[in-house]
């Protein structure tokens, strides 16, 4: 709005009010079209299911409402301010005149004149270049098709992911001692792990929780160690991120003898999963034993150590934990008058514990549990010292009724989707994306599973697997909704097609920048790609809208395309570079949350650069080709024309 009003003031020498009115009559349709495109492209995104849909909606609703407010401002406040504040040539370069410092005002005027002359020169050269390029339109078509092929190739081959693993200022160490290990043994292993962690200068402290597992409940041979890190502000530079610290301490932890000790980052999204990486669920569909499930799970873990794309795999499932099988002689218990429930209750109270009541002391409430004293529940032989009361109120030794037999079995039998399962936790190795890790894990499982077994995913891996393949559907729906919106706006099915031809080059630029920076095609990149549909279409709308107006004024198709491209060069560059400079803080972000910002910023910067540079040449050429082809089949003839030496002066 502002640029077009100023152009009419300078070119037509009219007053600001008249110039603004003429400018609004020319650009109001384009302003509405670009805003509707940016809003409508996010409509399908807001219906995306699951956690991915929540992330999409957070972006889509924010952007849609901000664009709506911007549209209202562009149609109301901007024209009013333009009519009040814009001036002609005599005032255009007098920014510092109020200072009454002559040299400052003159210096600024010279600078502004130079910039204006440079833009005029660039616009003239651009118009002449378009004229020359149109002579090689078939070469441009071939280049555009090659760009489409490159876009498809990059989209297929760029690794995918869910969300980046951000530095959350701590990580988790899992301790897995041999089956049957005591809590004291596990505690000593945890202390060894703490020594390794505290030796790293970036670790602030440690907190150990022996006897607890995030995936299998409580067990004496499991433990956790939480390692909070120093503030991110004190961990600047390479090698000090949480992922770098985990990679640095992992070999040392793996070298602790007598247990498996593995370091993991926390899940990228709080509340989804227990660890960063993936949660793999090996399922028995009912045809195999628990020993088979245990064997296959550990074969998969062992096989992962031979693969370069997987790291840190472990499973808490085991079918060989030492156990005592309690056998109750029911006939003997009945003969002695001892109810079976009394036997099981006595075993539970003595060997375990039972809640009795609460009592208050010093204004505090305490719970009372009853159990056998520690010296009397150290081993299975202590069972002979327990007594149970019979129906005749006599005391009967439990050893006369109960016998013990050593056996083995799983401490916990987990079920996933109603089937017995063994969870395997792990992550993709450095240099590999999460999707590559998931694929590697799938291949490894297929090579080791027995008949009657299957696998599925949980946590973030499940979200990523479910979202895979849906991104292209959402992208296609976004394009379709934009196409319908533009078709309604222009009452044409051809002009929206020309406008949307700008999208592939934007996607190509985004994917090239993502790949070149070593990032993956995650949710944030996909949000950036959806945004690029609207942003790239915006530049095309400016050219196509003005070209249509010029054709209505009697220009030929070729001259209309060249003149429209030349006239709209300045606003295209203004809006594109303004947006690029606004996104650069995301591109160069540091500190907490930088990886998500890098994904969005890199996709948008790469897409906008490619879209702005390449589509300045592709769109006028494609417009001429499509309109000429359409005119040949139309009853209303429009001359194609040829390049003229001079086109209208751009401002």
CA 381 remoteness from chain centre: 57
How far apart (Å, rounded) are the C-alpha atoms in residues 267 and 367? 35
Mutual orientation of helices 77-85 and 16-40 as an angle, nearest 10°?
Answer: 150
Range 244-253, long-range pairs (CB < 8 A, 24+ positions): 245/171, 245/200, 245/202, 245/203, 246/171, 247/430, 248/200, 249/196, 249/197, 249/200, 249/203, 250/311, 250/312, 252/196, 253/173, 253/193, 253/196
Q: What is the pLDDT of residues 571-606, one digit of tens each?
A: 888 888 888 999 999 999 888 888 889 999 999 999
How is 416-480 classified by DSSP, letter by letter?
ETTEEEEEEEEEEPTTS-HHHHHHHHHHHHHHHPPTTEEEEEEHHHHHHHHHTTHHHHHHHHHHH
Placement of tokens 């003159």 in the chain: 106
How far apart (Å, rounded) are the C-alpha atoms in residues 314 and 321? 16
Point out which residues pair with 404 in neighbouring strands: 326
Fold observed for domain 170-310+417-467: Alpha-Beta Plaits (3.30.70)
pLDDT of residue 88: 67
Mutual orientation of helices 50-75 and 16-40 as an angle, nearest 10°?
Answer: 170
How far apart (Å, rounded) are the C-alpha atoms in residues 475 and 466? 16
pLDDT of residue 493: 87
pTM: 0.81
Percent pLDDT > 70 in the chain is 94
What sign does the dihedral 369-374-379-384 (CA atoms) show? negative
Tokens of 54: 């929540």
How wide is the angle at C-alpha 304 spanned by C-alphas 298 and 307, nearest 5°? 160
CA distances from 246 to 56, 168, 212, 276 (A): 30, 12, 21, 12
616 phi-psi bin (left φ>0, alpha ψ -120 to 50, beta other): alpha
Residue 118 CB contacts under 8 Å (≥ 6 apart), including other chains: none
The stretches of 491-556 forming alpha helices (DSSP H) are 495-500, 503-516, 523-552
Assigned architecture for domain 29-65+91-160+469-633? Up-down Bundle (1.20)
pLDDT over 90 (residue 297): yes
- 3-class DSSP assignment, residue 272: coil
pLDDT of residue 298: 92
pLDDT of residue 413: 86
Output 401 or 42, whichever has higher pLDDT.
Answer: 401
pLDDT of residue 358: 92
Measured in degrees and rounded to the nearest 5, phi and psi for residue 416 equal -130, 120
Point out which residues pair with 402 in neighbouring strands: 328
How far apart (Å, rounded) are the C-alpha atoms in residues 416 and 316? 15
pLDDT over 70 (residue 25): yes
Among the four given CATH numbers 3.30.2090.10, 3.50.50.60, 2.40.50.100, 3.40.50.2000, the one describing domain 321-409? 3.30.2090.10
How far apart (Å, rounded) are the C-alpha atoms in residues 462 and 455? 11
The pLDDT-based confidence of 645 (bands split at 50, 70, 90) is very low
Task: Compute the average pLDDT of residues 380-401.
Answer: 86
pLDDT over 80 (residue 469): no
Q: What is the pLDDT of residues 161-192, one digit of tens each?
A: 888 888 889 999 999 898 888 888 999 999 99
How wide is the angle at C-alpha 300 spanned by C-alphas 294 and 304, nearest 5°? 145
CA 328 remoteness from chain centre: 56
pLDDT over 90 (residue 369): yes
Task: Compute the average pLDDT of residues 322-338.
Answer: 88
Q: What is the pLDDT of residues 550-579, one digit of tens each?
A: 888 888 888 888 988 888 888 888 888 888
Placement of tokens 């808490």 in the chain: 316
Burial state string for 479-491 with b = 16 or more CB within 10 A and e = fewer than 16: bebbbebbeebbe
Task: Compute the average pLDDT of residues 34-43.
Answer: 84
pLDDT of residue 94: 56
pLDDT over 90 (residue 443): yes
Burial group, residue 460, by CB count within 10 angstroms (0-12, 13-18, 19+): buried
Point out which residues pair with 284 in neighbouring strands: 420, 453
Strand 453-458 to 170-176 pairing: unpaired
pLDDT of residue 646: 42
Closest CA to 456 of 279, 580, 592: 279
| CATH 3.30.70.1430 residue ranges for the chain | 170-310+417-467
| CATH 3.30.2090.10 residue ranges for the chain | 321-409
The pLDDT-based confidence of 102 (bands split at 50, 70, 90) is low
How far apart (Å, rounded) are the C-alpha atoms in residues 580 and 428? 33
pLDDT over 80 (residue 639): no
Output 112 or 16, whichever has higher pLDDT.
Answer: 16
Q: Which helix (H) or strand (E) holds 297?
A: helix 290-304
Tokens of 36: 């509707």
Placement of tokens 């390692």 in the chain: 227
pLDDT of residue 48: 78
Closest CA to 314 of 237, 248, 216, 227: 216
- 3-class DSSP assignment, residue 644: coil
How far apart (Å, rounded) are the C-alpha atoms in residues 313 and 309? 11
Measured in degrees and rounded to the nearest 5, phi and psi for residue 563 equal -65, -40
The pLDDT-based confidence of 303 (bands split at 50, 70, 90) is very high
| CATH 1.20.1640.10 residue ranges for the chain | 29-65+91-160+469-633
Q: Which helix (H) or strand (E) holds 188?
A: helix 183-198
CA 330 remoteness from chain centre: 60
- 3-class DSSP assignment, residue 268: coil
How far apart (Å, rounded) are the C-alpha atoms in residues 59 and 57? 5
Closest CA to 481 of 45, 29, 22: 45
With contact defined as beta carbons under 8 Å apart, do 298 and 444 qualify? no
How far apart (Å, rounded) are the C-alpha atoms in residues 601 and 58? 17
- 3-class DSSP assignment, residue 520: coil
pLDDT over 70 (residue 91): no
Mean pLDDT, all residues of the chain? 86
Task: Compute the average pLDDT of residues 303-329.
Answer: 87
Closest CA to 220 of 142, 147, 144, 322: 322
CA 600 remoteness from chain centre: 9
Closest CA to 333 of 345, 348, 325, 350: 345
pLDDT of residue 650: 37
Residue 96 CB contacts under 8 Å (≥ 6 apart), including other chains: 104, 105, 108
The pLDDT-based confidence of 5 (bands split at 50, 70, 90) is confident
pLDDT over 90 (residue 95): no
Measured in degrees and rounded to the nearest 5, phi and psi for residue 491 equal 55, 45
How far apart (Å, rounded) are the C-alpha atoms in residues 10 and 92? 10
With contact defined as beta carbons under 8 Å apart, do 434 and 162 qualify? yes
């Amino acid at each position: 709005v502002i640029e077009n009003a100023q152009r009419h003031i300078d070119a037509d020498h009219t007053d600001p009010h008249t110039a603004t009115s003429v400018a609004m009559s020319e650009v109001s349709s384009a302003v509405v079209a670009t805003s509707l495109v940016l809003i409508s492209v996010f409509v399908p995104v807001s219906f995306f299911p699951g956690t991915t849909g929540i992330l999409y909606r957070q972006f889509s609703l924010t952007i849609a409402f901000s664009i709506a407010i911007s549209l209202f401002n562009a149609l109301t406040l901007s024209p009013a301010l333009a009519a009040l504040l814009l001036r002609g040539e005599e005032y255009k370069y007098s920014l510092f005149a109020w200072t009454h410092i002559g040299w400052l005002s003159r210096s600024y005027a010279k600078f502004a004149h130079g910039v204006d002359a440079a833009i005029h020169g660039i616009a003239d050269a651009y118009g002449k270049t378009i004229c020359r390029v149109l002579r090689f339109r078939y070469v441009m078509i071939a280049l555009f098709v090659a760009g489409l092929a490159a876009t498809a190739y990059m989209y297929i081959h760029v690794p995918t992911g869910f969300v980046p693993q951000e530095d959350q200022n701590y990580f988790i160490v899992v301790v897995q001692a041999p089956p049957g290990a005591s809590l004291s043994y596990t505690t000593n292993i945890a202390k060894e792990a703490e020594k390794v962690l505290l030796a790293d200068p970036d670790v602030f402290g440690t907190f150990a929780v022996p006897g607890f597992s995030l995936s299998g409940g409580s067990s004496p041979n499991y433990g956790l160690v939480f390692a909070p890190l120093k503030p991110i502000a004190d961990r600047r530079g390479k090698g000090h991120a949480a992922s770098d610290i985990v990679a640095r301490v992992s070999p040392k932890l793996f070298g602790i003898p007598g247990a498996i000790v593995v370091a993991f980052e926390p899940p990228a999204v709080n509340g989804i999963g227990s660890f960063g990486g993936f949660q793999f669920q090996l399922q028995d569909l009912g045809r195999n034993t628990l020993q088979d499930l245990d064997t296959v799970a550990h074969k998969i873990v062992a096989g992962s150590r031979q693969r370069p794309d997987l790291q840190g795999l472990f499973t808490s499932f085991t079918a060989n934990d030492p156990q005592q099988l309690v056998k109750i002689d029911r006939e003997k218990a009945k003969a002695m008058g001892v109810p079976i429930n009394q036997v099981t209750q006595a075993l539970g109270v003595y060997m375990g514990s039972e809640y009795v009541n609460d009592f208050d002391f010093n204004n505090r409430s305490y719970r009372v549990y009853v159990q056998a004293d520690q010296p009397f529940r150290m081993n299975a032989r202590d069972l002979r010292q327990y007594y149970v009361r019979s129906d005749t109120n006599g005391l009967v030794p439990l050893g006369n009724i109960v016998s013990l037999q050593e056996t083995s079995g799983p401490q916990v039998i987990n079920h996933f989707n109603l089937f017995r399962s063994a969870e395997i936790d792990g992550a993709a190795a450095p240099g590999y994306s999460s999707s590559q890790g998931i694929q590697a894990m799938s291949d490894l499982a297929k090579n080791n599973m027995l008949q009657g077994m299957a696998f599925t995913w949980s946590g973030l891996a499940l979200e990523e697997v479910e979202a895979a393949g849906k991104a292209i559907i959402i992208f296609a729906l976004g394009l379709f909704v934009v196409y319908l919106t533009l078709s309604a706006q222009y009452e044409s099915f051809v002009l929206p097609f020309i406008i949307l031809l700008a999208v592939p080059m934007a996607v190509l630029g985004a994917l090239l920048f993502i790949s070149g920076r070593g990032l993956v095609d995650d949710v944030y990149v996909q949000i950036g790609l959806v945004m690029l549909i609207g942003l790239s279409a915006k530049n095309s709308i400016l050219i196509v809208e003005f070209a249509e107006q010029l054709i209505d004024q009697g220009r030929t198709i070729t001259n209309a395309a060249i003149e429209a491209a030349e006239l709209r060069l300045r606003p295209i560059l203004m809006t594109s570079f303004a947006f690029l400079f606004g996104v650069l803080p995301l591109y160069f972000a540091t500190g907490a949350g930088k990886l998500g910002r890098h994904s969005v910023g890199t996709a948008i910067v790469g897409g906008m650069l490619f879209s702005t540079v390449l589509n300045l040449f592709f769109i006028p050429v494609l417009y001429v080709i499509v309109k000429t082809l359409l005119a040949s089949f139309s009853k209303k003839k429009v001359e194609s024309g040829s390049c003229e030496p001079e086109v209208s002066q751009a401002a």
